[in-house]
Amino acid sequence: MTNKILVTGADGFIGSHLTEELVRRGHDVRAFVCYNSFNSWGWLDHSDQQIIKSLDVFAGDVRDPHGVRTAMQGCDVVLHLAALIAIPYSYHSPDTYVDTNVKGTLNIVQAARDLGVKKVVHTSTSEVYGTARFVPITEEHPLQGQSPYSASKIGADQIAMSFYSSFNTPVSIIRPFNTYGPRQSARAVIPTIITQIANGSRSIKLGSLHPTRDFNFIKDTVNGFIAIVESDRSVGEVINIGSNFEVSIGETVQMIADIMGAKIDIETDDNRLRPDKSEVERLWADNRKALELAGWQPRYSGKDGFRRGLTETIEWFSNLANLNSYKSDRYNI
């Protein structure tokens, strides 16, 4: 990883953390951000000035094959994170998910093939597994599109891997389980809980409490990306990045409230409930393949690790400068 690295979705939650860490490690990084008339670089606007000065920023849209090809020129490694990821919004506007997630990924791997890129790491999601049929979930678990979002990511994964099978394009697929941490969108459950409590609410509006998740702290996810890039054995493979720890949403709420020293009541908001057959009831990652092929293992695993990660996340959100960026009194889809 001594040559040029392109990070798509560098303006987002995971992408910004990954971009910053790559720069800190001395890599030459081109950050692909979503073009907008405000000239906003998303979360990268909040990065340390030394990091910003080191970045080569490209504003474009992954749906545009010409722009993607231009961004990828001169790059040896591509970390493809750009995607639409909000599940509720995928019920509202599924067509945009096909365009961004499936066609956007096609643009990446097609350009990688034509340009001779040395490695593409495509970002999947644990949502492609749907409700666990067995636990912990290995990479061989059946894929189930229980939302338009997860269906679009299954399509994107298959497009990416088809280029490895058909053209020997060096593709690896990273499949992170539920990443959380500073900067995460309030459409996700952990920021939703924290921002409501931090803003003084003691009646917390949430959806279902019984589903379980395998939460993965942002630092672990970032290290997972880098480990997969550095591993030659990861090419042509799908690799779970998860903590191998299962916890329910209800338990998560109580742990957050305990850390924040708040006594709360939980109010079910019907708007936040997924359709019955679309709810993913259980996620729990088997992460042995990541250790075997890439030498990666989580540093924030188990209940103690989850509590440490939540504490760091709460500290960031409790800073008023950060908290004021969120609209905790509204449901974010």
Among candidates 75, 162, 172, 165, which has minimal Cα distance to 123? 172
What is the share, in percent, of the chain residues with pLDDT greater than 70?
99
How far is Cα 22 from Cα 55, in angstroms, rounded to an integer? 10
How far is Cα 3 from Cα 28, in angstroms, rounded to an integer? 6
pLDDT at 1 over 90: no
**What would the DSSP string read from start to end of 236-282?**
T-EEEE--S--EEHHHHHHHHHHHHT---EEEE-GGGPPPGGG---B
The pair of structure tokens assigned to 159 is 């497009």
pLDDT at 273 over 60: yes
The string of pLDDT tens digits covering residues 45-98 is 999 999 999 999 999 999 999 999 999 999 999 999 999 999 999 999 999 999
Q: Do 189-211+246-282+301-323 and 4-179+215-245+283-294 have the same topology in CATH?
A: no
- pLDDT score, position 257: 98
- pLDDT score, position 332: 81
- pLDDT score, position 164: 98
How far is Cα 99 from Cα 11, in angstroms, rounded to an integer? 19
The string of pLDDT tens digits covering residues 211-237 is 999 999 999 999 999 999 999 999 999
Average pLDDT of the chain to the nearest whole number: 97
Fold of 189-211+246-282+301-323: UDP-galactose 4-epimerase; domain 1 (3.90.25)
Q: Give residue 113's region: left, alpha or beta (phi > 0; psi -120 to 50).
A: alpha
Q: What's the one-letter identity of residue 324?
A: N
Q: What would the CATH number be for the domain defined by 4-179+215-245+283-294?
A: 3.40.50.720
pLDDT at 2 over 60: no
Confidence band for 329, pLDDT divided at 50, 70 and 90: confident
Domain extents for the chain? 4-179+215-245+283-294, 189-211+246-282+301-323
Q: Any idea what the Cα angle at residue 233 is, between residues 232 and 235, rounded to 5°?
A: 80
How far is Cα 294 from Cα 309, in angstroms, rounded to an integer? 23
Per the CB < 8 A criterion, the answer to whether 318 and 197 are in contact is no
Confidence band for 314, pLDDT divided at 50, 70 and 90: very high
| pTM listed for this prediction | 0.97
